[in-house]
Amino acid sequence: MRAREELLENVNFGDDISDLLPIIHEGKSDSATMDMVLELLLMTGRELPEVMMMMVPEAWEKHATMSDAKKAFYEYNSTIMEPWDGPASIPFTDGNYLGAILDRNGLRPSRYTVTKDGFVIMSSETGVLDTPPENVKYHGRLEPGRMFLVDMNKGEIIDDEEVTNPPLDGIREEIVTDISLAIGADFNIFDINEDHCNKLRVQNPVLTTDDIHRIKHFDKPSLKAATIPMLFERKRGTNGMIDALEQMVDESEKAINHGAHLLILSDRGFNEEYAPIPALLACSYVHHAMNHRKKRSKCAIIIESAEPREVHHFATLFGYGASAVCPYLVYEVIDEMIQNGHLEIELDEAIDNFQKAVGAGVIKVMNKIGISTLHSYRAAQIFEALGLRKEFAEKYFPFTATRIEGVGILEVHEEVCRRIDKAFPSNENLSDAPLEMGGEYRWRRDGERHMFNPITVAKLQEAVRQNKPVAYEEYAKMVNEQATRLMTIRGLMEFTDFDPIPLDEVEPWTEIVKRFKTGAMSYGSISQEAHETLAVAMNRIGGYDGGTGASPMTSLKHAGLPWELGLSEAQQTLVMNDLRSRVVLECDGQLKT
């Protein structure tokens, strides 16, 4: 909404339209923010039911039984505004209409009762107000994305068209989730005309090289594209990267002023002398700079980069304003794998599989935070940085929290240069050297360090199978030493000096073990033998059950912040609000000793 302020214009308001700004006041609740936008849309001449259907549309994209007219209404309004997504049951009124609407997932209960003497009662549950059964005309409930509406002037309930919702969650989730986007410039939301439709709709924002080629050569003025180089001159060092970022912003603004509505940030053409700027850094900085310069709503940002390859890369790019991404190097790698016989499928099918896999992965990321559509997720910045210097984040990633500081533009520049040096080695004999395996998911001898590795696992097995306390002490020593080597936040902490107290004043171990839980280690994540052994152990020491902890590959990395941060924040917040004594805090995550 901040980006749309520059486009607001209406003859009825004239110069006084500036009195409406800002549309959203910082620091307000989600409900207050939505109320401010709703008030603005009502000022455009739209009626309240129409505004609510714009802001909280039902899942129309894959709805087989919805009428074409209603789909057209939703599709048109999707080019004007992204849906307000997330679990919510929203009552509303303007004096003429009174109603309520449920989010497209239907994750909030909302039930109503209509009485014979003309009353309507709505709440999260039936029976909140005592109503004699003989006075009940009928009961009902709000369905996902549907509206309950009363015309106060006519004194009657407006019937919504009947809808059939699939009974299975898996099927319904596929219907309500959507990653298609309308890409292009935004227009004045006070106007209701065809200008809003002059956009490019993509069903999957992971573009192929053919897609990006066609976009670059569109001859339609509303889809005019401009390519902005995402490169910096290496010999100029860190200052070269900083100046290149500023130049990208200036060139982006210049392109918009010359009629471009699609900005393609591209790192094609990098070599030993010109290195690529990290795609996320460039995307975020251009996005926020265009916002600051009141140009953001006039363009869409498309990333053409060799860097994105994992779901997390795409999710963060979309979250920081990208409308589409072309990972051209991935396609070149896939092509080479097919040429070398590592994949036994056609290139088009392999690329299609990759696009679908990334799309499904992005949907999983969105679903974790209750968002169903990429339109709502784009530029939402629902992230917290871990290990970025505060001044670096404030400049290049505004509005992103960073509680633990770390690297800045200097370290980012150094990392890029290390990659380029490996890609273009000075020693020709190293040009054909095999790539590093990485070891991010599986342990590799020279790869990324893992706290559980063959050595620690062997020591733990020796301690358990042979009942050797010495082996356990060796295992614990190795794990604790790993923690101090920047593998955990708690590894950076040490106990302060303290006066010891008698052991008989300390809570005995027999009481401490009662709070141990193993339910998080579900049968699906471990073996039958380990599951049964843990069950016996818990029965003997009186442990608790827990949830499920079978982690798929998509949850091994980028699945959340360290528990140390969450525990500290929860403790401080509860203490400040005098609520700490009312709850028990539980913690889980890589606790090994």
pLDDT of residue 398: 95
Name the residue among 165, 551, 562 with its Cα closest to residue 364: 551
Cα Rg for the chain, rounded, in angstroms? 28
pLDDT of residue 525: 61
Name the residue among 429, 446, 425, 447 with its Cα closest to residue 438: 447
Residue 426 vs residues 108, 231, 233, 462, 519: alpha-carbon distances, Å:
61, 21, 18, 47, 53
pLDDT of residue 288: 96
Q: Are 284 and 321 in contact (CB under 8 A)?
A: yes
Q: Render pLDDT for 491-541 as a digit per residue (tens, 0 to 9).
A: 888 888 778 888 888 888 888 877 777 666 665 566 777 777 777 776 666
Q: Are 221 and 39 in contact (CB under 8 A)?
A: no
pLDDT of residue 551: 54
pLDDT of residue 520: 62
- What is the DSSP code (8-state) at residue 162? P
Q: Are 127 and 199 in contact (CB under 8 A)?
A: no
Q: Are 407 and 392 in contact (CB under 8 A)?
A: yes
Helix (H) or strand (E) holding 194: none
User: Which residue type occupies 412?
Assistant: V
pLDDT of residue 522: 60
Q: Which residues contact 327 (CB under 8 A, 6 or more apart)?
A: 206, 305, 306, 307, 308, 309, 314
pLDDT of residue 356: 95
Distance CA 373, CA 176 (A): 8
3-state SS, residue 68: helix
Distance CA 399, CA 506 (A): 45
Q: Are 196 and 82 in contact (CB under 8 A)?
A: no
Backbone angles phi, psi at 428, to 5 degrees: -60, -25
Q: Which residues of the chain have pLDDT under 50?
A: 162-171, 544-550
DSSP H stretches of helix in 43-90: 48-55, 68-78
Domains delineated in the chain: 44-171 (no CATH), 181-381 (3.20.20.70)
Beta carbons within 10 angstroms of residue 69's beta carbon: 7
First to last CA, the chain: 49
pLDDT of residue 166: 39
